[in-house]
């Protein structure tokens, strides 16, 4: 049986071009980028070339890119780094209610350490109202963190407007861009963000590598301690093969962005119109908002989401109930309940995330499998 992958927001396969670059680097560029001899300098050159490639994707200066172990570390470094650099014992932080756990758990830890945190609600379509941000500001606010695109819904937040409000108040603005990078065009200057997080494995690079954009002049205290790597912002010998792979993935994303976005949006729309047309009791969560082109979150009333994931897996389709980082959790998604969905409807929702390998034939086959699975699960729940 063939298996088709509709879970690209959880992780992506490593692109062949990226793999090739990484393997040649693993085999040949084994020097430490901090060493001054020939081997070290070869590694340093690869490192800096990758830094330029990452910077180019988000229209930043290469000196503003800090390499990390992934999106979670980038988010942690941004949140803790800004608050600790502020030197305020009573700092105030604003986050949205639908942030990734990497931001929400960091904010919760700051609360335990004495900071105040405001969680902004979102509207029924999943977007943060910039005016709510303005109203939440306090004299002691040091950081606003609102994600660029949501991992479960694909909803794109009004980051430029929120950043404008932040800067009028002299507050640092961070955005978790893990689900946006490689899917939509990003220009950190027009967005107005001071910090922006990225993760390699969400854009066809391997796991274990990411980056944090830090606008020049942004005060950021380190959260780990050691050598003077990454301009004293993140110590530790750099993962050169991983970083080189991230650079190659960013270049690939940049060169295919417009055409691939259009192709994926077409496939997503085909999928949604087929599902809504053929299966009763369905709807698209966050469907009225501006979204990333590859993501669709659909509820199937009267069906348990986890049971659907298993039923579809048995038919050869990989989908998810939402955030992979919280899979196994029986509580409904915090993102879906923040939209105002009932716990039952949240539990009956599935996320479908398309990618480079997705074809129209796969989409049509998925809809067939969904129709059959939903009919079967509804039938047995009625008899249960």
Rg (CA), the chain: 21
Q: What distance in Å separates the CA atoms of residue 71 and residue 234, rounded to the nearest whole number?
A: 14
Q: Which of 23, 325, 329, 343 is catalytic?
A: 325
Do residues 334 and 21 lie in contact, with contact meaning Cβ atoms separated by under 8 Å?
no
Q: How many Cα neighbours within 13 Å face the side chain of 340? A: 8
Q: 320 by DSSP, 3-state: which?
A: strand
Is 325 annotated as catalytic? Answer: yes
Q: What distance in Å separates the CA atoms of residue 208 and residue 274, rounded to the nearest whole number?
A: 37
Fill in the DSSP letter of residue 156.
Answer: B
Q: What distance in Å separates the CA atoms of residue 172 and residue 146, rounded to the nearest whole number?
A: 11
Which stretches of 59-194 are DSSP H helices? 71-86, 101-112, 130-136, 159-168, 188-191
- Write out the DSSP string of 71-85: HHHHHHHHHHHHHHH
Joined together, the tokens standing for residue 218 give: 């942004």
Q: What distance in Å separates the CA atoms of residue 13 and residue 8, rounded to the nearest whole number?
A: 8
Closest CA to 374 of 286, 294, 276: 276
Joined together, the tokens standing for residue 40 give: 């070290």
Other beta carbons within 10 Å of 128: 25
Q: What distance in Å separates the CA atoms of residue 274 and residue 64, rounded to the nearest whole number?
A: 44
- Please list the active-site residues: 325
């Amino acid at each position: 049986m063939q298996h088709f992958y509709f879970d690209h927001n959880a992780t992506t396969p490593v692109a062949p071009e990226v793999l090739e670059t990484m393997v040649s680097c693993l085999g040949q560029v084994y020097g430490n980028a901090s060493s001054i001899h020939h081997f070290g300098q070869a590694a340093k050159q690869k490192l800096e070339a990758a830094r330029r490639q990452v910077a180019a994707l988000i229209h930043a200066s290469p000196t503003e890119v800090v390499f990390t172990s992934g999106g979670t570390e980038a988010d942690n470094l941004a949140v803790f780094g800004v608050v600790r650099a502020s030197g305020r014992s009573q700092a105030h932080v604003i986050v949205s209610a639908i942030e990734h756990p990497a931001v929400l758990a960091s904010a919760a830890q700051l609360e335990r350490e004495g900071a105040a945190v405001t969680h902004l609600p979102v509207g029924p379509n999943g977007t943060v109202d910039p005016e709510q941000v303005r109203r939440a500001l306090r004299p002691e606010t040091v950081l606003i963190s609102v994600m660029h695109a949501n991992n479960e819904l694909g909803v794109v937040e009004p980051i430029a407007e929120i950043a404008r409000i932040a800067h009028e108040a002299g507050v640092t603005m961070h955005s978790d861009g893990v689900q946006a990078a490689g899917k939509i065009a990003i220009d950190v200057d027009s967005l107005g963000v001071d910090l922006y997080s990225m993760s390699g494995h969400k854009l066809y690079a391997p796991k274990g590598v990411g980056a944090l954009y830090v606008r020049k002049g942004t005060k950021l205290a380190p959260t780990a301690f050691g050598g003077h790597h990454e301009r004293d912002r993140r110590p530790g010998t750099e993962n050169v093969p991983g970083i080189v792979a991230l650079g190659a993935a960013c270049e690939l994303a940049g060169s295919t962005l417009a055409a691939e976005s259009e192709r994926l949006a077409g496939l997503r729309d085909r999928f949604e119109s087929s599902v809504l047309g053929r299966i009763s009791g369905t709807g698209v969560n966050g469907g009225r908002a501006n979204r990333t082109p590859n993501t669709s979150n659909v509820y199937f009333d009267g069906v348990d989401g986890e049971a659907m994931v298993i039923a579809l897996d048995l038919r050869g389709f990989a989908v998810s109930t939402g955030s992979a980082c919280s899979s196994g959790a029986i509580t409904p998604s915090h993102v879906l309940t923040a939209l105002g969905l009932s716990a039952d409807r949240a539990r009956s929702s599935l996320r479908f995330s398309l990618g480079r390998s997705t074809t129209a034939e796969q989409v049509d086959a998925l809809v067939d499998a969904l129709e059959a699975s939903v009919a079967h699960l509804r039938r047995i729940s009625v008899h249960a």
